[in-house]
Structure formats: structure tokens, C-alpha cells
């Protein structure tokens, strides 16, 4: 209860300052009433959904949108708070000075009026995150981008020169609310005509039943060398309360079976060989392995027992912290690792090929795109779906296409 009181007090202070800025540009009573109506509606809806909320009880679309609209309201008001408090830092010393120099002549009104241009600037800047978040909720979460990379390797078997793979990750099917948009994305994946499709975990938020409405949609995925998948931390059902341990285990089995029905070969700490013209590369898939409290069911050694050390290897591992902590220095040398998990936080600023930033970089060293260490590559997919916040701002849903090329200086 105390945290809710603190939360409401802080938000109330931000609202008072935000309303002061709003009043400087509009004296219309109806607009001011509308301002408070929207504020009370959004905060009330947020409190309704989250007071007493326990993540283990499940996360509904109602929770997602309550959170999304709250963020859309909070961030612009925090921007306004910074500007208005900044102005008060100037106004307070001025008021003190007037008190001692003007005395009764000021008649108790020692504070200078708020400057209208400061409020206008603050409102203009605050409008940017407001518009971005609203766009992210209604359009951004389905603003699919196909990102294409070409990676060169000296020891790539010649038969696989020009081999194309499509990676998708973090579908989170329980979050979707538009079947047509998901259909469009699946068609976009198939249009890439890659040799193989690889999914790197988090098919659902929590329960296998989330995938059922989309089984036929994802069942349209096609690649001549097949579809392969691994599990992510959300696929194990660890974040909801189950009536029994058996029910939780059955949920995981149901999810595996659903993926198989779609056409995925689910790799559970195991490997497969991809063969072409008498040559082969190894595809290795581990269960989730994550640092910082995430599930560590992944077993790289077990997954690689059936392959040779000198094979060309592609590793599928959901969490990029696995690559950082275990894979890079492994003596088996995994040429290319495919991960997801971070979602790029679904929020950031990115100019492809020039600049990318997201707060998630403070949590994950490798958080989006291609990285190279010790002659090995990792691609961290920004995710196909979304979770918790029902949108994406600046970090769009991703379909990755990677072409493998044999280095020109190779024999």
C-alpha cells in the first residue's frame, strides 16, 4: 500500500507541474477538463489492473494496454516536470531577492509569472515521446523490418557459399492482437526464400495455448532445408502459477508438440548436420541459458557431443549472455551464434548503419545486431513480437536474413 501512496504522490507532483505548463497555452475550461479526464482515466485504469497484481497470475491484453497508456502519459509529464522544476530553480532565488528588496510593495506575490515560451518549448518537446509512444502502440509493434547481413568465413565449406538463413526470435504469441499483421509478417519471411528458417526462443509468454490461434499462420513457414527452433526463458512457463508441477511439465510438452506440428525441429541441447553436395555444417541448439537469474537449462557440451571440433558451426542460443559468458571462449569455436531475448527493450533510437541506442545496453553488452569477438559472430535479433509494453518505439520487430560467404582469400 505504501508504494502506491508514494507512486500517486510522485505522479501527482508531476501532474501539477504539467498542468501549469498546459494552462499557459490554453485557458479553455473544456480543454482543461479534458486534460484531467484523460489523466484520471489512464491512472485509474492502471491502478485497476495493477493494484494487487501478481505476475504469476498471468499478464493479459488489458494489463499490457493499461501499462502502455500509462507510459504514454508518464514520460511526457516527466519531461514537463524537468522543465518546470528547472524554471523554478530560477524563480525561487528571484522570489527571495524580491522579498528582501521590495518588501510590502510586492504585496506577497514574490514569484514571477511562468514564462510562456518555456512552457511552449517544454510542451513541444514532451509531444515527441507522446506521439512516438502512441505510434509505437498502434503501428510500431507490427512495423516489421527485414535486416540483411553478409558474413564471410575462411573455413566455410564451398558448398555453402551463398547459403541464406532467416532468423526470427521472441514471437510471444500471447501478446498479439492482430492476426492479419502476423500473417503479413509470415509472408514476408517466406518472401526471403532462405535455405533455412531458425527460431531462437520465446514462442509464447507463458502458456502453450497462446500459440494455438496462430498455429496455422506459422504453419505456412517454408524453407527447403527446414525449420529449427530452441526454447527461450518464457517457454518453460516459469512466470505463472500452475495448479501442479505436472501441469507445468505438460504445458512445456504441449508447446514442443505444437512447434513440431508447425514444422519446427525443436533442438533440446542437441545438434543436426545440414548437408549439401557432399559437405556439411553443424547446427547446434541449446535450451535457455541466461545470466542474472534466468533459467540455465542450456548445456553446450551436451549439445555438441555428436559433432566434430573442426566442423563449421551455427549455434542457436536464446540469451546473448550465454555467448558472452560461455560460448566465445569455448575451444569448439562456434562460428555464428543466433540469439534474441533482449527485444532491444522495444525502445530506442536507431539509424541503420550509423547509430543505435537503447537503455537495454546497460543490461546487455550484446543487445541488437551483429557483433564479432575472437573470430566468431553473434546476431542478436530484436524480436518478432513484443512483451509487457504493447508496442515498439524506434526498435522495430525484426526478420533477419544472413548470407554465408566463403572469404575470397580462402583456398
pTM, whole model, 2 decimals?
0.91
C-alpha to C-alpha distance for 349 and 295, rounded to whole angstroms: 30
Per-residue pLDDT tens for 222-264?
A: 999 999 999 999 999 999 999 999 999 999 999 999 999 999 9
The verdict on 129 and 65 lying in the same domain is yes
What is the per-residue pLDDT for 134?
96
At 132, which helix (H) or strand (E)?
A: helix 116-138
Structural domain boundaries, residue 63: 2-138
The verdict on 284 and 315 lying in the same domain is yes
The verdict on 106 and 130 lying in the same domain is yes
Does pLDDT of 91 surpass 80? no
The verdict on 71 and 161 lying in the same domain is no
Tell me which of 2-6, 125-129, 222-226, 310-314 is least confident: 2-6
Q: Distances in Å between the alpha carbon of 193 and those of 136, 339, 403?
A: 29, 21, 12
The verdict on 134 and 148 lying in the same domain is no
Per-residue pLDDT tens for 2-44?
A: 777 787 787 788 888 888 888 877 778 898 899 899 999 999 9
Please identify, among 138, 153, 179, the residue that sits at the C-terminal boundary of a domain: 138
Q: Is 150 inside a domain boundary?
A: yes
Tell me which of 99-113, 258-272, 318-332, 363-377 is least confident: 99-113
Residues in the chain: 411
What is the per-residue pLDDT for 102?
67
User: Which pLDDT band, with edges at 50, 70 and 90, does 51 fall under?
Assistant: confident
Region 106-129: mean pLDDT is 74
DSSP-assigned letter for residue 402: E
The verdict on 155 and 125 lying in the same domain is no
Please identify, among 108, 138, 168, the residue that sits at the C-terminal boundary of a domain: 138
**Nearby residues of 94 by Cβ (< 8 Å), 6 or more positions away:** 110, 111, 112
The verdict on 308 and 240 lying in the same domain is yes
Per-residue pLDDT tens for 176-224?
A: 999 999 999 999 999 999 999 999 999 999 999 999 999 999 999 999 9
Asked if 273 and 307 count as a contact pair (C-beta separation under 8 A), the reply is yes
Percent of the chain with pLDDT over 70: 93
Beta-strand ranges (E) seen in 71-215 are 145-153, 163-168, 196-199
What is the per-residue pLDDT for 287?
98
Q: Is 411 inside a domain boundary?
A: no
Q: Between 122 and 390, whose confidence is greater?
A: 390
User: Which pLDDT band, with edges at 50, 70 and 90, does 143 fall under?
Assistant: very high
Region 388-396: mean pLDDT is 96
The verdict on 232 and 275 lying in the same domain is yes
The enclosing domain of 190 has a CATH number of 3.60.21.10
Output the nine-digit C-alpha cell for 311: 566442423
- Number of separate domains in the chain: 2
C-alpha to C-alpha distance for 267 and 313, rounded to whole angstroms: 14
What is the per-residue pLDDT for 69?
94
Asked if 322 and 353 count as a contact pair (C-beta separation under 8 A), the reply is no
The verdict on 167 and 248 lying in the same domain is yes
Does pLDDT of 402 surpass 90? yes
Asked if 284 and 313 count as a contact pair (C-beta separation under 8 A), the reply is yes
What is the per-residue pLDDT for 353?
81
C-alpha to C-alpha distance for 8 and 12, rounded to whole angstroms: 6
Residue among 262, 269, 266, 209 at smallest CA distance from 240: 209
The verdict on 103 and 154 lying in the same domain is no
The verdict on 125 and 163 lying in the same domain is no
Please identify, among 106, 122, 138, the residue that sits at the C-terminal boundary of a domain: 138
The mean of the pLDDT values for the chain is: 91
The verdict on 51 and 117 lying in the same domain is yes
Amino acid at each position: 500500500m505504501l508504494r502506491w501512496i508514494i507512486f500517486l504522490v510522485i505522479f501527482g507532483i508531476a501532474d501539477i507541474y504539467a498542468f501549469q505548463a498546459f494552462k499557459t497555452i490554453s485557458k479553455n475550461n473544456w480543454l482543461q477538463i479534458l486534460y484531467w479526464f484523460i489523466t484520471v482515466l489512464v491512472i485509474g485504469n492502471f491502478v485497476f489492473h495493477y493494484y494487487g497484481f501478481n505476475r504469476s497470475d498471468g499478464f493479459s491484453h488489458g494489463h499490457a494496454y493499461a501499462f502502455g497508456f500509462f507510459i504514454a502519459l508518464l514520460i511526457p509529464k516527466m519531461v514537463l516536470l524537468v522543465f518546470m522544476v528547472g524554471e523554478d530553480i530560477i524563480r525561487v532565488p528571484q522570489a527571495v531577492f524580491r522579498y528582501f528588496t521590495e518588501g510590502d510593495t510586492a504585496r506577497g506575490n514574490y514569484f514571477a509569472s511562468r514564462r510562456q515560451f518555456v512552457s511552449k518549448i517544454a510542451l513541444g518537446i514532451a509531444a515527441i515521446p507522446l506521439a512516438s509512444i502512441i505510434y509505437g502502440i498502434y503501428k510500431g509493434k507490427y512495423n516489421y523490418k527485414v535486416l540483411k547481413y553478409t558474413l564471410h568465413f575462411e573455413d566455410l565449406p564451398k558448398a555453402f557459399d551463398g547459403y541464406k538463413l532467416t532468423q526470427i526470435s521472441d514471437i510471444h504469441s500471447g501478446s498479439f492482437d492482430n492476426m492479419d499483421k502476423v500473417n503479413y509478417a509470415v509472408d514476408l519471411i517466406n518472401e526471403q526464400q532462405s535455405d533455412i528458417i531458425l527460431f531462437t526462443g520465446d514462442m509464447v509468454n507463458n502458456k502453450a495455448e497462446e500459440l494455438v490461434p496462430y498455429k496455422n499462420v506459422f504453419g505456412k513457414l517454408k524453407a527447403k532445408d527446414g525449420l529449427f527452433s530452441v526454447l527461450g526463458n518464457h517457454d518453460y512457463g516459469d512466470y505463472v502459477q500452475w495448479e501442479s508441477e505436472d501441469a507445468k511439465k505438460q504445458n512445456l510438452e504441449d508447446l514442443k508438440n505444437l512447434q513440431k506440428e508447425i514444422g519446427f525441429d525443436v533442438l533440446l541441447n542437441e545438434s543436426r548436420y545440414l548437408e549439401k553436395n557432399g559437405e556439411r555444417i553443424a547446427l547446434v541448439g541449446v535450451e535457455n541459458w541466461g545470466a542474472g537469474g534466468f533459467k540455465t537449462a542450456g548445456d553446450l557440451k551436451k549439445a555438441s557431443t555428436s559433432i566434430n571440433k573442426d566442423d563449421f558451426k551455427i549455434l542457436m542460443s536464446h540469451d546473448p549472455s550465454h555467448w558472452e559468458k560461455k560460448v566465445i571462449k569455448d575451444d569448439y569455436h562456434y562460428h555464428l551464434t543466433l540469439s534474441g531475448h533482449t527485444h532491444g527493450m522495444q525502445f530506442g533510437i536507431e539509424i541503420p548503419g550509423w547509430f543505435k541506442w537503447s537503455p537495454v545496453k546497460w543490461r546487455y553488452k550484446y543487445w541488437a545486431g551483429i557483433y564479432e569477438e575472437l573470430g566468431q559472430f553473434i546476431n542478436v535479433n530484436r524480436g518478432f513480437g513484443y512483451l509487457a509494453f504493447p508496442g515498439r518505439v524506434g526498435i522495430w520487430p525484426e526478420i533477419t536474413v544472413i548470407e554465408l560467404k566463403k572469404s575470397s582469400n580462402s583456398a
